Structure 1
Amino acid sequence: MKASRTLLAAALVSTLLIAACGKREEAPAAAAPAPAAPTKIVVGLDDNFPPMGFRDEKGVLVGFDIDLAREAAKRLGADVEFKPIDWNAKEAELSGKRVDVLWNGLTITEPRKEKIAFTAPYLENRQIVVVAASSPIKSKADLAGKVVGVQEGSSAVEAIEKDAAGKSLKQLKKFGDNVTALMDLAAGRLDALVVDEVVGRYYTAKKPGEYAVLDEHFGTEEYGVGVRKDDAALLGKLQQAMDGMKKDGAAARISTQWFGKDIVK
Structure 2
Amino acid sequence: MKKKMLTVLLAAAMTVSLAGCGSKDADKKDNASVQNTENAKSDNGSDRTQFVVGFDAEFPPYGYMDEDGDYTGFDLELAQEVCDRNGWELVKKPINWDSKDMELESGSIDCIWNGFTMNGREDDYTFSDPYVDNSIVVVVAKDSDINKLSDLAGKVVDVQADSSGLAALQGDDATDENKELTASFAELQQVADYNTAFMNLESGAVDAVVLDIGVAKYQMSSKGDAFRMLDEQVSSEQYAIGFKKGNTELRDQVQKTLDEMVKDGTFTTIVNNYTDYNLPEMVCLGE
State whether TM-score is above 0.5.
yes
The superposition leaves residues 67-98 of structure 1 with CA deviations (integer Å, 9 ceiling, x where unpaired) of: 00001111222111000110111111111111
Could you tell me the TM-score, scaled by structure 2's length?
0.78
Three-state SS of the structure 2 residue aligned to 1:114 is coil
Instruction: Please tell me whether residue 231 in structure 1 is matched to residue 247 in structure 2.
Output: yes
Equivalent AA in structure 2 for residue 197 of structure 1 = I
**% same residue:** 37
Partner of 1:176: 192
Instruction: Please tell me whether residue 100 in structure 1 is matched to residue 110 in structure 2.
Output: yes
Partner of 2:280: 262
1:236-247 paired onto structure 2 within 5 Å: 236-247=252-263
1:1-265 paired onto structure 2 within 5 Å: 36-110=46-120, 112-161=121-170, 162=174, 163=178, 164-259=180-275, 262-263=280-281, 264-265=283-284
Three-state SS of the structure 1 residue aligned to 2:51 is strand
CA drift of 1:190 comes to: 0.7
Structure 2 CA distance for aligned equivalents of residues 35 and 49 of structure 1: 27
Three-state SS of the structure 1 residue aligned to 2:234 is strand
Structure 2 CA distance for aligned equivalents of residues 77 and 37 of structure 1: 10
C-alpha RMSD of matched pairs (Å): 1.6
Pick the structure with more helix per residue: 2
Could you tell me the TM-score, scaled by structure 1's length?
0.84
1:91·1:115 contact (CA, 8 Å) conserved in 2? no
Structure 2 CA distance for aligned equivalents of residues 240 and 37 of structure 1: 16
Equivalent AA in structure 2 for residue 116 of structure 1 = Y
Pick the structure with more strand per residue: 1
Equivalent AA in structure 2 for residue 185 of structure 1 = L
The superposition leaves residues 215-250 of structure 1 with CA deviations (integer Å, 9 ceiling, x where unpaired) of: 011111010011011211100001101111111111
Runs (4+) off by over 3 Å: none
Structure 1 CA distance for aligned equivalents of residues 64 and 254 of structure 2: 22
Q: Please, which runs of 5 or more residues in structure 1 have no aligned partner?
A: 1-33
CA drift of 1:35 comes to: 6.5
2:274·2:280 contact (CA, 8 Å) conserved in 1? no
Q: Which has the larger radius of gyration?
A: 1
Three-state SS of the structure 2 residue aligned to 1:184 is helix
Partner of 1:19: none
2:161·2:191 contact (CA, 8 Å) conserved in 1? yes
Q: Which stretch shows the higher mean deviation, 199-208 or 65-74?
A: 199-208
Three-state SS of the structure 1 residue aligned to 2:200 is helix
1:38·1:76 contact (CA, 8 Å) conserved in 2? no
Equivalent AA in structure 2 for residue 196 of structure 1 = D
